[in-house]
Amino acid sequence: MTDHPPLTIALWLQQTAAALLPLAGLDVAISDVRLEARRLLGDVLDITPTALQLRLNDLLSHAELALLADALQRRLQGEPLAYITGRWWFWDLELEVAPCTLIPRPDTELLVEQALSLALPATARVLDLGTGTGAIALALAKAKLDWQVTAVDFNADAVALALRNQQRLQLHNCQIGQSDWFSALAGQRFDLILSNPPYIDALDPHLQQGDVKFEPLSALVAPMAGLADLQHICQHAPEFLTEGGWLWLEHGYQQADAVQQLLQAAGFTEVSSRRDYAGQWRISGGCFRAPI
């Protein structure tokens, strides 16, 4: 093990911000090196921002310095902070995250907001397709303890990860299982179906940038200019929705028109889209009523 000379938190932050400087501008995830250094130290050593401010003159132990040196090396290679620390925040949940699936994004919280704004039965049955860490499903299960939430993913490692999150958070109104979209859900009906499926075109240059280049293509990329999974879900959702049930989907910022067309073609009414906080059209959805 390398022997690290004694260092205070303040000095470590200063040196680390300088070390990260070459990445700023190159890596879209690192826009503010001082903030990045604070997040790295806080997340690796589990120190809140307030506590960090009070401990700036504390000396870091050798064990802490070794942990931080390893984390900094990985961060300098561009690895996302969430994969280095293995945890990330979504809505009001701290989730375990892993490279088998996407790191939950703030944009996706719009789907949670939308779900909570709908007039659904008190004991609504809700389905989250492609659950990854379980982010959407677990946020809803926590917000609505009387809802019965089902969450599926086709990736066995993602299912195991979502189950660990569900068990740690003790959200017993959420069932998690493995399914290729609807394949394991025959005969079930839901009042609301949500999904943040893969929707990026395989040639999209964003796949080579920032955190995204460390995330699995199976969580990101879909054929047909990114629309194949969105189309599959729109086409099959009516078989799994109750009368008057809703489907809401996250999609790329240029895909709202295409997704609205997919929803209309599948028979959905009251089709609309919502913008994210950056002003981009981010989610679209509609209501299903069986033809008379």
Beta bridge partners of 151: 128, 176
Applying CB under 6 A, does 80 fall inside the site for ligand SAM? no
In angstroms, rounded to a whole number, what is the distance separating the alpha carbons of residues 139 and 136? 5
* Least distance in angstroms from the C-beta of 223 to ligand SAM: 11
Name residue 237's amino acid: A
Beta bridge partners of 96: 87
Binding mask 135-154 for ligand SAM (x = CB under 6 A): xx---------------xxx
- Backbone phi, then psi, for 16, in 5-degree steps? -70, -40
The residue among 80 and 198 lying less far from ligand SAM, judged by its C-beta, is 198
* Least distance in angstroms from the C-beta of 3 to ligand SAM: 41
Size of the site for ligand SAM (CB under 6 A): 22
Applying CB under 6 A, does 158 fall inside the site for ligand SAM? yes
Member of 130, 245, 252, 285 binding ligand SAM (CB under 6 A)? 130
Applying CB under 6 A, does 166 fall inside the site for ligand SAM? no
The residue among 68 and 161 lying less far from ligand SAM, judged by its C-beta, is 161
Count CA atoms within 13 Å of residue 44 on its CB side: 25
The residue among 16 and 273 lying less far from ligand SAM, judged by its C-beta, is 273
Member of 101, 150, 166, 255 binding ligand SAM (CB under 6 A)? 101
Q: How far is CA 191 from CA 115, 131, 217, 234, in A?
A: 10, 17, 30, 15
Is residue 80 a contact partner of residue 103, using CB atoms and an 8 Å limit?
Answer: yes
In angstroms, rounded to a whole number, what is the distance separating the alpha carbons of residues 143 and 57? 40
Applying CB under 6 A, does 102 fall inside the site for ligand SAM? yes
DSSP state of 118: S
Q: Which residue has the tokens 């911000």?
A: 17
The residue among 16 and 133 lying less far from ligand SAM, judged by its C-beta, is 133
Is residue 154 a contact partner of residue 198, using CB atoms and an 8 Å limit?
Answer: no
Member of 166, 173, 196, 231 binding ligand SAM (CB under 6 A)? 196
Residue list 197-236, contact with ligand SAM (CB under 6 A): 197-198, 218-219
* Least distance in angstroms from the C-beta of 55 to ligand SAM: 33
In angstroms, rounded to a whole number, what is the distance separating the alpha carbons of residues 266 and 288? 9
Q: Is the dihedral of CA 70, 27, 89, 173 positive or negative?
A: negative
Applying CB under 6 A, does 82 fall inside the site for ligand SAM? no
- Applying CB under 6 A, the residues found at the interface with ligand SAM are 101-102, 104, 108, 130-133, 135-136, 152-155, 158, 180-181, 196-198, 218-219
